[in-house]
Amino acid sequence: MPASPAAKPLLLDQSPDDWQLGAAPAYRRRQLTDWIFRRRAESFSLMTSLPAAFRQQLAADYELAPLQHVRTQGSRDTTRKFLFRLSCGDFIESVLIPANPALYGERADRFTLCVSAQVGCAYGCKFCASGLAGWKKNLSPGELIAQIMQVEKLSGATVNNLVFMGMGEPLANYRNLLAAIEVINADWGLRLGARRITVSTSGIVPQIRALADQPRQLRLAISLHGADNATRNRLMPVNRKYPLEQLFDACAYYQERKKQMLTFEFILIRGVNDSERQAALLAAHARRLNAKINLIPYNQVEGLPWERPADRDIKNFVATVKAAGVAATVRLEKGRDIDAACGQLRLRELS
């Protein structure tokens, strides 16, 4: 479905200071943010404290809801995957994951939302479903923010943790990402603290440095997946552009600026990166860079040759890492049955 040439701008794509509100008095901006982010009105006509003519003008000038809910898979208390249609016709997915008190010490009523940053992905990691058909588009700030608001509305949950680990590479959509985070963070917006927001990247070095230089204390997760260049090259083409030495320098820089722990994500793939040598190398990198490790047994992707290691090998890997004194968790595979693992989102509607 092509985008309509007469498409109106999306209100959530602009910062409230940039909203064109004609001759409206200044306090209207505050009333609008209240209606949108506190009361969650989904159409201008519902904003009954605003004059009718002003509401009509807004509706003529702006679009308010950019995502059309298509379907939900999974049920309450399990991982749920939400499929949305963008106004341009493309599809995206967001995944709501209930808290895991055992793993993260979170309260049981907490939820993590995994959002998509792009339609498709240009980085072509060899194991990943999201990049199979290449990159299609960057999500706009409003499309990023609306994923949270829509999932909260559809599920009744309050999102306490946000991870940019869905489809796409968030740091390749840097400007929109930060514009969205400003709203997600703001007192007048979604009020989610920067420390509750994790940006996951395949290792785009200049953008990691840029993220270190911006003021928010965002959490950074690096998708490592190989503890030496040869192994990483085999899985992630981005490593040829930004090899491990450069990536680790950027990690150290992030740490120096933010004074917080990094996370290394490491998918375990049978016979590729699951050896004891990889475990020992990975642990050494993590110690040096003050990172904790999130191990993810590979989720099989249809049509790709990779497999998850045997349980015994996963256990050995974890034991080697832990014996080196590094904090490591194995990500439980909630949502495996609905292909909802973060980073495993694929546009089935289109295939």
Pick the binder of ligand SF4 from 198, 202, 278, 320 (CB under 6 A): 202
Asked whether position 339 contacts ligand SF4 by CB under 6 A, the answer is no
The least CB distance from residue 225 to ligand SAH, in Å, is: 6
Pick the binder of ligand SAH from 32, 115, 183, 296 (CB under 6 A): 296
- C-alpha 16/C-alpha 190 separation (Å) is 14
Residue type, 91: F
CB neighbour class for 158 (10 Å; exposed up to 12, middle 13-18, buried from 19): exposed
Residue type, 62: Y
- The single residue listed with the structure tokens 């106004």 is 87
Asked whether position 150 contacts ligand SAH by CB under 6 A, the answer is no
342 is catalytic: yes
Q: Which is nearer to ligand SAH, 41 or 205 (CB)?
A: 205
Beta bridge partners of 201: 222
Task: Return the range that interacts with ligand SAH (CB under 6 A); candidates 105-113, 133-141, 199-207, 245-253.
Answer: 199-207
Q: Which is nearer to ligand SF4, 119 or 157 (CB)?
A: 119
Token readout for 149 is: 């608001």
Residues in CB range of 192: below 8 A, 6 or more apart: 148, 159, 160, 162, 184, 185
Q: Which does 124 bind (CB under 5 to 8 A by kind): ligand SF4, ligand SAH, none?
A: ligand SF4
Beta bridge partners of 120: 135
Annotated catalytic residue within 114, 143, 342, 349: 342
Q: Which is nearer to ligand SAH, 87 or 299 (CB)?
A: 299
Return the SS3 of 8: coil
Token readout for 341 is: 């693992």
Pick the binder of ligand SAH from 173, 176, 201, 263 (CB under 6 A): 201
Task: Characterize the bridge pairing of strands 135-138 and 159-164.
Answer: unpaired
93 is catalytic: yes
Task: Return the range that interacts with ligand SAH (CB under 6 A); candidates 103-111, 254-262, 275-283, 291-299.
Answer: 291-299
Are 88 and 137 a contacting pair, CB within 8 Å? yes
Q: Which is nearer to ligand SAH, 335 or 343 (CB)?
A: 343
Q: Which residues are catalytic?
A: 93, 342
- Interface residue list for ligand SAH (CB under 6 A): 127-128, 165, 169, 200-202, 223, 265, 267, 296, 298-299, 301, 341-344
